[in-house]
Amino acid sequence: MTGYGKAEALLETGKITIEIKTLNGKGSDASIKTPLLPKDKELAVRSKIAAALVRGTIDVFVSWESAENTEGKTIDAGLVKSYYRQLTEIRNELPGFTGFSLRDGDRMNNELLTAILRLPDVVDSRKPDIITEENWPLVDRAFDEALAAVTEYRRKEGEALYRDVTGRIRTILALEDEVEALEQERIDAIRERLTRNLEELQQKVDPSRFEQEMIFYLEKLDINEEKVRLRQHCRYFLDTIDTDPCPGRKLGFILQEMGREINTTGSKANHAQIQKTVVRMKDELEKVREQCMNIL
């Protein structure tokens, strides 16, 4: 879901620049950070963004650069004169403000003007409506271009994500094959350990009863169902990412099921090498989970 796109609209009075940045998000959360966009156009822009980007935390920036390179600020001359006249009268009425040289008077006038310019409503920095009905088609086209750039950015990132996560899922399948190869060794080791413990206790047992108990015990530690389900989940993951246009949420659910089977395998393993392999599977699974947060 991470992406970036930029486009420009050249108007008669200047240039509109549109930038769109997206990050991971559970839904479509668009924030339009500009006072330039007319209120009656905002809903249409939001609908356009939601349709194009589907999901993610989306920040939209719209900036303006005037062709005349001005800030668009104006000074209310009448208000400045009124403030100046009132402040001068007050100054002259205060004691100690007589007998200044011409140079001192100029300095004080400059300071007075500087102070007046800081007063409310003296400088009007409000800009005229830049985006109008007449130039809106140009701005709307720029939004489309910026969204197309974000989509292309996402597509390229998606290709890299696809290679990464599918490769890790296949690694988990390969590690599951390693677990299966150790299965007989694990059963033999458990049987040998139990037999040795009985011999150390120097207790006579009924061989047939012992075998029955052994079978019951090994059944509790059997991981065949976990192996079958994990492989099914891995295949389902690969099928989903290949066929679903927006598989992100579904992949998250599949990963939860995969994690459950891997954890159960680890708890039943009772074998050092299998447990090490399970840890490697968990590591791969967690990396896939992190990457899937960025998949639509």
Q: What is the pLDDT of residues 172-228, one digit of tens each?
A: 999 999 999 998 898 888 888 877 877 777 667 777 877 777 777 778 888 999 999
- Among 3.30.360.10, 3.30.200.20, 3.30.230.10, 3.40.190.10, name the CATH number for the domain at 3-70+128-152: 3.30.230.10
Q: Of the ranges 124-133, 239-248, 266-275, which one carries the lowest mean pLDDT score?
A: 124-133
| Cα torsion angle, 152, 154, 156, 162, sign | negative
Contact assessment for residue 214 and residue 194, using Cβ atoms and an 8 Å cutoff:
yes
Contact assessment for residue 281 and residue 175, using Cβ atoms and an 8 Å cutoff:
yes
DSSP one-letter code for 8: E
Helix (H) or strand (E) holding 98: none
pTM: 0.71
Question: How many other C-beta atoms can be found within 10 angstroms of the C-beta atom of residue 83?
Answer: 18
Average model confidence (pLDDT) across the chain? 87
Whole-angstrom CA distances from 191 to 66, 186, 209, 272, 274 are 83, 9, 14, 15, 17
Q: How high is the pLDDT of residue 79?
A: 85
**In the predicted structure, residue 104 carries a pLDDT above the cut 80:** no
Q: In the chain, which residues fall in CATH 3.30.230.10?
A: 3-70+128-152
Q: How high is the pLDDT of residue 277?
A: 96
Query: What is the SS3 assignment for 21?
Result: strand
User: Cβ neighbours of residue 73 under 8 Å, at least 6 residues apart?
Assistant: 123, 124, 125
Instruction: Please give the structure tokens belonging to residue 128.
Output: 């005229």
Average pLDDT on 151-161 reads 94
Q: Quick one: which of 259, 254, 257 has its CA closest to 240?
A: 254
Average pLDDT on 21-36 reads 89
Instruction: Please give the structure tokens belonging to residue 267.
Output: 């708890």
Q: How high is the pLDDT of residue 87?
A: 82
